[in-house]
Amino acid sequence: MWHVSQRSSPWRRRYPPGVPQEVDIPDVPVTRLLDDAAETHPRRPALHFFGREISYRDLRDAVDRFADGLHRLGVQPGDRVALILPNCPQQVIAFYGVLRRGAVAVQHNPLYTEEEMLHQLADCGARVAVVLDRSYATVRAVRAKLQLEHIVVTSLTDFLPLAKRVALRLPLVQAQRRRAEITADVPHDPDVLPFRELQRPPRRPVRQLEVEPSRHLAAIQYTGGTEGRPKGAMLTHRNLVANACQQHAWDTAGRPGTDVTLAVLPLFHSFGLMSCLVAPVMTAGAVVLLPRFDADQVLSAIRRYRPTIFPGVPTLYEQVMDNPRFTPSDLGSLRILISGAMGLAQSTIDRLTQVGAKGLINCYGLTEASPAVTGNPLGGGARNLSVGLPLPMTDAVIVDQDEPTRVLQPGEPGELVVRGPQVFAGYWNAPLATAQTLSKGWLRTGDIAVMDEDGFFTILDRLRDMIKVSGFSVFPTEVEKVLHRHPAVHDCAVVGVPDARRGERIIAHVVEHPAYPFSAYELRRHCERYLSHYKVPAEFIPRTALPRNILGKVVRQRLRDEAVNSPA
């Protein structure tokens, strides 16, 4: 398909000392990573949850009990089990327990609406769902249209220390009362059972059911759905193990059994699943679980557990530093900040540098790649306005989006296409979409990028977000960067909508700065100073906020839909 030579892969010469070009990927299921950690570091804390500590030995035992519980429910290898949970011990136990049975874990956002939940549960054909009590009503409302045979219900209070307050800072008696109100609505039905029912000691030793790591699925991760309906990315055991090995090889200073990862990113997202669970478990690291982002809780967790690794998104780091309780010493224990999922601005880089943050690396990935593809070097040499270099055993090329067989030269923007052991097996129930995205192991990312002479990649935009005005290509991020330079603009998002005369017209959605009045005329004049005429937005729409997904990325599709569906 595409040929990658030593000359066309200059990033290999830029690897930091100690980072190998090839990585030994063991042919094992994902659960082996947990088993190895429990054998080598049995007493090492695996999970911290608001004062509750679970060792690796105890975590493995809980996983085995859950796997035995699934066996009693009739779950067989290849069956899909839906996990509808926030970050909590039950999510971790259920994830590895499903894989222990040779089944497939399918994770869902517990805040989904009925329509969103119905689509994903029906698409994956889950037989069992493990549900947070606060999400049970949503699942119950759509159950009649599904193949669900059993629903396992749990609460955040199930794994909290009795003497502690719950995450939402309610007194324990109030939390218990709230839990009683919710579970009172759960029917006494043999097909609806509490999580603790699947934690009974097994009657027989629990063994890992045999899987072929390169062929059998470990997880189906639904894409974010910012463009149309989400699709289920099929990730094999080898995909996940490979990506964990690649990340471990990138971190040459890491030592097994020493790191503490702050898990604020949701584990049901591919970024959180890998960086906050699979990769830390591989090195017997401790994981601090937070069910949702709250700056006060994040700061409290940092001060209590002194994490060494903090995966996040730029808006998350900004909100932590914006908190009145924040002091630069709060970041003193961190040796790595893994920034991903959205662009990292120079202002955020400067601000983190000013407060003494060390080890900031901007990275790039996508669900279809398990997810990590590139990363900036650790220990110096990071160019964080780029997304860094391809990880070991990852090939990457930039191709002409109109003529994909033509590989572009350094400095020429085009579509990023990647290949590696972390690249997914295809989309669940979507052979056409798979064929359009995957070809002979190469993944068309749909992202517009450019590679420099040293092999550093910079993401310019999403191919599907690119706007065509009278035949000219316009990158929304280019327009947004210009708008951000005006003092009236606090936040903005640029989209293209159909236009009979020009193909598309550009609309800028602007959140104004509270100290500066909004003026469409002034913003247009500002854009005309820095942009070609066809890149200047045709319309400036004031907004109080922009629609964002769970990771804080702007959902441009929602803005486009608003424009298309609004009355003329």
Q: What is the pLDDT of residues 89-145, one digit of tens each?
A: 999 999 999 999 999 999 999 988 898 899 999 999 999 999 999 999 999 999 999
Peptide bond between residue 20 and the one before it cis (omega within 30 degrees of 0): no
70: amino acid identity, one letter: L
pLDDT > 60? residue 179: no
Q: What is the pLDDT of residue 30?
A: 98
Q: Find tokens 């609505």 and name the residue.
A: 185
pLDDT at 170: 44
The lowest-confidence range among 218-227, 342-351, 353-362, 510-519 is 218-227
Give the ranges where 306-345 is alpha helix by DSSP (H).
314-322
| pLDDT at residue 523 greater than cutoff 70 | yes
Are the CB atoms for 534 and 501 separated by under 8 Å? no
User: In which residue are the tokens 């910012």 written?
Assistant: 226
Going along the chain from its start, the domains and CATH numbers come out as: 466-565 (3.30.300.30)
Supply 518's token pair: 């909004």
337-366: average pLDDT: 94
The pLDDT, as a whole number, for residue 121 is: 97
Res 3: pLDDT: 74
- Reduce the DSSP state of residue 322 to 3 states and report it: helix
pLDDT at 225: 45
Half-sphere exposure (CA, 13 Å, Cβ side) for 345?
A: 16
Window from 72-76, 267-271, 501-505 with minimum mean pLDDT: 501-505
- pLDDT given for residue 163 in this prediction: 65
Give the amino acid at 377: P
Per-residue pLDDT band for 568 (boundaries 50, 70, 90) equals low
Model pLDDT, residue 228: 55
**Lowest pLDDT segment from 29-43, 178-192, 281-295:** 178-192
Q: What mean pLDDT is predicted for residues 229-254?
A: 96
* CA within 13 Å, CB half, 202: 18
Mean pLDDT of 554-567: 85
Integer Cα distance of 516 and 159 in angstroms = 48
pLDDT at position 6 is 65
Average pLDDT over all residues of the chain: 91
- Cα–Cα distance for residue pair 345/552, rounded to 1 Å: 14
Closest to 130 measured CA to CA, from 172, 170, 85? 85
Q: Look at strands 442-451 and 414-419 and give their pairing.
A: antiparallel
Chain centroid, CA 367 distance in Å = 7
pLDDT for 365: 96
Structure token digits, residue 145:
């249209």
Please, which pLDDT band fits residue 158 given cuts at 50, 70 and 90?
A: very high
Smallest Cα–Cα separation from 30: which of 370, 278, 371, 286? 278
Is residue 411 pLDDT above 70, yes or no? yes
What average pLDDT does range 252-259 have in this prediction?
96
Is residue 277 within 8 A of residue 33, CB to CB? The reply is no
Q: State how far the Cα of 466 lies from the Cα of 515, in Å rounded to an integer.
A: 32
Mean pLDDT lowest for which of 17-31, 32-46, 212-226?
212-226
Instruction: Please tell me the predicted confidence (pLDDT) of residue 567.
Output: 63
Cβ-count burial 357-379 (b if 16+ within 10 Å, e if not):
bebbbbbbbbbbbbbbbbbbbbb
